[in-house]
Homo-oligomer: A and B are copies of this chain.
Amino acid sequence: MTSTDEKWLEKKISRRSMLKITGASAAGAAVLASGMGGVAKAFGFDILEDDATAQNKVKFYGKHQSGITTDTTTHVYFASLNVLVGSQSELQELFKTWTPLAVRLMNGEQLEEASPGVFTPPDDTGEAAGLDASNLTLTFGVGPSLFANKKFGLSAKRPSELNELPHFPKDQIADQFSGGDICIQACADDPQVAFHAVRNLVRAASGKVTLKWTQTGFTSTPKEKDKKATPRNLFAFKDGTVNPSPKSDIDMNEVVWVQPNESQSWMASGTYLVVRKIQMHLETWDRTSLKAQEDTFGRHRDSGAPIGKKNEFDEVDLDSKDATGNPHISADSHMALARKVKDRILRRGFSYASGLIDETGAYDAGLLFISFQKNPQQFINIQNALGRADKLNEYITHRGSGVFACFPGVQKGSYIGEKLFSAF
């Protein structure tokens, strides 16, 4: 065994003892360690394995990144980073560093070395010790500013569809919640696990990246007859009723996954993430009549049905009229306007309620809107259709914004974003 192999083996032993300490099954580590004479290496970093026995674990490796069509988790910690390094190779190095860490984090492993020196900072910040993988997903993307930065020499690799989002009517976008060279979307069923993941990735890149903005979010999924129901946003309306099914390859290939030749070649099987921090003016909403609320969305609040229909998934008929001959669904309702365009997106929305907005004492609460689409234009078309007319505008303000090209998934032996750097 080489000394590198020994070091790797120590790591495995470390994990095993950690598992013992934390009371999780040690079997996982044994399976992992068996049949592997030493750790494979590629691109100068360890190739680690998805732990098939870890509890509540989402796979890291695959055709697509996790956190996009994966089942929605209860929490998100979304982070936007700026890059401080000065060259493409250092940028590449960053993603290589992150790859084995992401595998381990998604395995629910500690990042600890075998015999950590007590005179150095611990390898793992440690607050997730004893917690399981909690369905952690990590989704990495790169923003337009990364391609615009000449020091990285990536301008020829910028997909023509990757541009800062245009200004939409009523936008009040603050720089402190916008943009960024890189995004990391950490979703988990435990807020401490999601935060721990971002904290440790950022820490491992200390001096190479800086946090630009972050936002936590949560979503609560009611059960209906042991079936998961559509979650409600803070306006109490069901959010995601018309989402395409993440389980349908046909839908996902049509809506979400970049197909070969649809964008830059490195983006095949990737997707674009749009994020919007949308403040919801709860105080105003709560003074609004149920009718006006329902007219705003074009749906009934409790059932989620289109106005005039009974059930959430009943077909929307924009021409249906009530007894007095008026249309059930206002032409300037959120739903009617959104349906004017054929574009579809995959939404993964989270609510946030962080505190108060200092000046006003209003809730700092709203929607961390995240959508995935094979082309940001899908989102732009929908947002433009809403335009100034959208009845919802009275109750919301867009405060933050970002668009990121999310790499395809990572194959074992490769690293996050490899195709961006290799496909010249």
Instruction: Mark A residues whose CB is within 8 Å of B.
Output: 21-23, 77, 116-122, 124-131, 176, 190-193, 195, 199, 203, 210-216, 218-220, 222-225, 229, 232-236, 282, 286-291, 293-294, 301-303, 351, 353-356, 358, 361, 363, 365
Contact = CB atoms under 8 A, between A and B. Distances in A.
B121 A287 contact: yes
Contacts of A193: 220
A355 B301 CA distance: 31
B220 A125 contact: no
Between A128, A192, A232, A290, the greatest number of chain B beta carbons within 10 A of the residue's beta carbon is seen for: A192
Given A129-B232, A289-B120, A355-B215, A190 B294 contact: no
A116 B293 CA distance: 13
Contacts of A355: 213-216, 354
Contacts of A118: 289-291, 294
Contact of A130 (B125, B128, B232, B294): B232
A195 B220 CA distance: 12
Contacts of A122: 236, 290, 293, 301
Contacts of A222: 22-23, 129-131
Contacts of A301: 122, 126
A353 B191 contact: yes
Contacts of A129: 222, 232, 236, 302
Contact of A290 (B121, B130, B286, B363): B121
B121 A289 contact: yes
Given A176-B358, A193-B220, A23 B236 contact: no
A303 B21 contact: yes
B232 A127 contact: yes
A99 B301 CA distance: 27
Nearest to A222: B130
B218 A191 contact: yes
A353 B216 contact: yes
Nearest to A126: B236
Given A126-B301, A127-B233, A129-B302, A225 B290 contact: no
Given A121-B288, A234-B127, A354 B216 contact: yes
